[in-house]
Structure 1
């Protein structure tokens, strides 16, 4: 099997795990390794990853800023659907994986590579997300998943391997890490170790992207978010790019303690896991998007979207971004957004985000129809027949019960 692999594209962060994987690939498969590092807004300096890859003799090193593509082509389409998994999770990790996988496959094609490799473990969801995307885009690609192949089954063995091969180890990796972290422009997730007991409240040091609500300002912050066809296009009257919008919303959320989530979720592979998520900008964006939909979206369309949303969210969570059913749902969702244009005013205060105003040139709100004052457009007597027709089956059911 090892002889079949001549060139592999590795999703490379530059951290301990993927650095060990890089060396392991060279030793086990005796192949050329191409590294790909994606800047998705994780807030880390990525040049050290280049230096580490050069240290291993890697000739083709890709470090790419994909923040705009990430928000424009992945985050925004997902938010048009108001997608949340199991009612509260905004899918920050899930939505990043198909983009990384897509770019890996593109690089593999450019270099004629016959394999791709990821660093996801055999217990989590990411292995599924990466590999379903790989196979959807390149059915005959070979996939290497070291955590399912090697014998480095503990943190101690991983560190021993690194020391043997003179792989630099960050000081905080020499002992048992308190928890693992994944980050991008949409969110930060923390799992494992100190967080594994679901009864214990997560310590404050776990949170890295938000102030605690108790420390947030005592005065509310008001902002306005502008939308065109379901996507945010500006904040407070200033037109901005997708990634810039999410960056600014993240800062508003950080200062006001918005977007914290302690979630016990059902992984696709079957087990439950506990995660601490911070999605400051995304939490604000979701509230804003639902706010503009409330004034522009027809009731039937809105309720159909809400019915379909859990299915759509589950597809993303489980790794089926490139599936035909997700694409079909996306087409329906995008059709619903054609008139979702306007401005939403939000109040941010101590961990909470509230819609306090909304306006739109495509508004379906009619003050003439809903006013409590006298009007000439709605005959209240029409409601009597409407109610009687809707009550007919209930009355017949009751009569049958009496017989």
Structure 2
């Protein structure tokens, strides 16, 4: 395929994402590195890729009257979506250019007949009036098509949070995600890092959620000397609330049961003093992810406080003595529905059955590590999702099975006036413009 045509590259990326389940960000980065695109064309490719993913259900709604029930090859479907996205959402590109380029791609990737078919669909769509999405009924279908989120998920959120809160969340997920970092307080202060980054990132400012967080409107924060030298790491603001919830002491022995890539592990490590015996044991199921934890700890200069190991957290009881940890973190594998802004393809890859299967895994991990905590020790359970099944439901099941544990309020470094579900802490994407996140704290009696 041509390496210098931004639309062809976008179609190629989107076809891989939709047919192979590839992560959009990783596939995009890999393809842009292989391409010969100018900076401007690379920006157009990126815009089209994320735009089609974010608006996929809406685009299909626009296409449906013209495609009807015809079975399309995945790449043809994607090509039509890219064309409609440009027509509807990118007002600086002339329709003539969109038609010509889309037809050209259809002929190159298929044949003359497919080129004519694509042209006919686009011309019919252009002649028709754009449907008024505000008139769609019922409300869940309207929200699904307007914000391109599957109807089952809209129904789930509406049932648990109400239609008004659900729409407020969905309005924010297509807004550009800000850039955020966590200062490594063993090497620098937030003020020092702010002063260092301000010339390149003039919008850099203190986080509203945490004193060790800084946020910027955008930019490649991982491309600086300060990042390379370990004065900070990249982390979403909401996940920076997890380590403080453990109330880690300098001498604490901490188990991070599901640790990769190590953001929370290294945050925990910042509180520890190796001279006093402070150590965090970080587990992950996959060897390459264990290496990620080790690499992050080394870059930040925290490797003397971190021991990373390959292990299924559900088998932790076979490897560690009972009551051998002062603190335990279970940042559980979850549906990731709180990450819809950063990983828009999640909306299509997750299914209702995930909300049945994942809580079983989450509870199994909690059950496995519960005996490893000392009396009066603290355990934190966290997820980056927004649904009751994976959050409050798991908490209730855990407490019912472990009467020696009690739920306590989540400690925070700053008061949060938009947090939900106390004594747990739930943040939604529309609360502070962060990832959706859930944190629950327990003490062993």
Q: Same fold (TM over 0.5)?
A: no
Q: TM-score, normalised by structure 2?
A: 0.25
Greater radius of gyration (CA):
1
Greater per-residue helix proportion? 2
Query: Relative CO higher for 1 or 2, CA cutoff 8 Å, sep ≥ 6?
Result: 1
Which has a greater percent of strand? 1
